[in-house]
Amino acid sequence: MNPPCGRCNKPVYPTEKVNCLDKYWHKGCFSCEVCKMALSMNNYKGFDKKPYCSMHYPKTSFTIVTDTPENLRLKQQTLLNSQALYKEDFEKNKGKGFSVVTDTPEMQRLKKTQDQISNIKYHEEFEKSKIRSDAPPPENRQDYEDQPSNPGRFSQPAVQMRPAAVAPPGGGKRYQALYSYMAAEADEVSLQEGDLILDVEPIDEGWVFGCNQRTGQRGMLPANYVRPV
C-alpha cells in the first residue's frame, strides 16, 4: 500500500516519493510552508516536521513569562529566601577576619619572587644612601680648586661657633662675600652675595670682623662665607 503525502494526503508512488521529516512527499508537494518554493534534500530546513526555505525558517525566541500574581509571589519569596541566606552566611562569617589563601606551589613561587624583589630594592637604597653619606663636602673635594669661581654653584657652608665680638683696630684687608648670610645676633653683619667687606680682621677660627661697604654695618661674619680680593 502506498503511503499518503505529508501535504496533500494523496497516495505517493515510488517514482515520485520523497522521504523526509518522517513523512513521504510528492516531489511537487515538498515545498516551503510559507512561500511554496520547491525544495530539495539539499536546501530544505525542517521545523516541527515541516519543510521551510532558508528565508522563512522560523526563528527561535525565548518565551516571555507573564507576571501573574502567582509568579510575582514566587519571585518575592525567592528574593526573601536569598536575603535570609545572605544574612545567615554573613552572621556565620562575622568576626572570622580575612579568608585563608591556600598555600599552593604557585602562591609560594609568587611570594618568593616578591621577597627577592624587595631584597634587591632594599640593597639598592642602602648602597645609594651609603654613597651619599661617604661623599666629602664640596670644600674637601680634590677638584674643588679646579672649579671656576662661581659661588652660586655650591651650597652655603656651615657656620662655626663664634666668640664674643671685639672690634679690632682698623686697616684690615678687603674681602668679598661668596654667599648671602642673614645675621643671627645683633653684633653680626648680614651679607648678600658679592658684597665688599672692608677692614677685615680675623677674630677666631671661623669668624672675622669687618664692615659691609653696601650697608655700612660693622660686626662679626663667618669666615667661610667670604674670600680675599
Enumerate the domain spans of the chain. Answer: 1-57, 175-228
Question: How many whole angstroms separate alpha carbon 55 and alpha carbon 90?
Answer: 54
pLDDT > 60? residue 62: no
Question: How many whole angstroms separate alpha carbon 103 and alpha carbon 107?
Answer: 6
For position 213, what pLDDT does the model report?
93
For 207-217, how does the pLDDT look when each residue is reduced to its tens digit (9 = 90+)? 999 999 999 99
On average, the pLDDT of the chain sits at 78
Percent of the chain with pLDDT over 90: 18
Average pLDDT for 49-55: 90
Helix/strand/coil for 1? coil
Report whether 163 contacts 209 (CB < 8 A). Answer: no
Which one of 1.25.40.10, 3.40.50.1820, 2.10.110.10, 3.30.420.480 gives the CATH number of domain 1-57? 2.10.110.10
Question: How many whole angstroms separate alpha carbon 13 and alpha carbon 30?
Answer: 14
For position 152, what pLDDT does the model report?
45
Cβ within 8 Å of residue 76, ≥6 positions away: none
Helix/strand/coil for 136? coil
pLDDT > 90? residue 136: no
Return the closest-CA partner of residue 197 out of 224, 227, 167.
227
In the beta sheet, which residues pair with residue 201? Answer: 209
Report whether 157 contacts 139 (CB < 8 A). Answer: yes
Phi, psi of 227 (to 5 degrees): -140, 150
pLDDT > 50? residue 125: yes
Confidence band of 112 (pLDDT split at 50, 70, 90):
confident
Confidence band of 169 (pLDDT split at 50, 70, 90):
low
For position 163, what pLDDT does the model report?
56
Confidence band of 171 (pLDDT split at 50, 70, 90):
low
Average pLDDT for 102-106: 73
Report whether 207 contacts 163 (CB < 8 A). Answer: yes
Cβ within 8 Å of residue 4, ≥6 positions away: 10, 11, 12, 24
Return the closest-CA partner of residue 215 out of 141, 203, 188, 169.
188
CATH number listed for the domain at residues 175-228 = 2.30.30.40
Neighbours of 5 (CB within 10 A): 20
Helices (H), the chain: 69-93, 105-134
Tell me the pTM.
0.29
54 vs 20, 25, 34, 58, CA distance in Å? 17, 19, 11, 9
